[in-house]
Amino acid sequence: MSGREGRRAARRRAVFLLYQGDVTGLPLGELAANDERSAGPIDDFTRALAEGARLDAEYLDGIITGAAEGWTASRLAPLERNILRVAIHELLDWPETPDAVVIAEAVATAKRFCGPDAYRLINGILGAVAAERATKAP
């Protein structure tokens, strides 16, 4: 698997771990152990994305709500919310990854797994977050 495909798969795996946590209420460690039994070991990048986004979920939800123009994070479908949490976490904590890559991956995940218009909302929110961060950069 190439580095690009590896990161894409890692992002999706992190999103689905968090989604399962939202839906089932199970702790991330238990979900990860279950996932590893069926899909193999979880790599460090996946684990860091999932743990970081889970730990910062309240903060990330505040960012989502602030950028969503009329929506709150709690009103979003769990999968959409977790796509956004993982992407925003990566935007903020992995500055070496270009914003365009993070946004494109999140949009691609939404196109594949969410409703037909979800990708537009995700693209708009992430674009607003990236633009806001760029205006605050030194």
**Alpha helix (H) residue ranges in 68-115:** 78-93, 99-113
Q: Please, where are the H alpha helices in 25-98?
A: 28-39, 44-55, 57-67, 78-93
Domains of the chain, residue spans = 3-136
Give me the CATH topology for the region 3-136: N-utilizing Substance Protein B Homolog; Chain A (1.10.940)
Letter for the amino acid at 115?
A: G
Q: What is the pTM of this model?
A: 0.93
Write down the pLDDT at residue 2.
Answer: 39
Q: What is the pLDDT of residues 83-136, one digit of tens each?
A: 999 999 999 999 899 999 999 999 999 999 999 999 999 999 999 999 988 787
Give residue 138's pLDDT: 62
> Angle at CA 86, nearest 5°, toward 83 and 66?
80
| 3-class DSSP state of 27 | coil
DSSP letter at 95 equals T
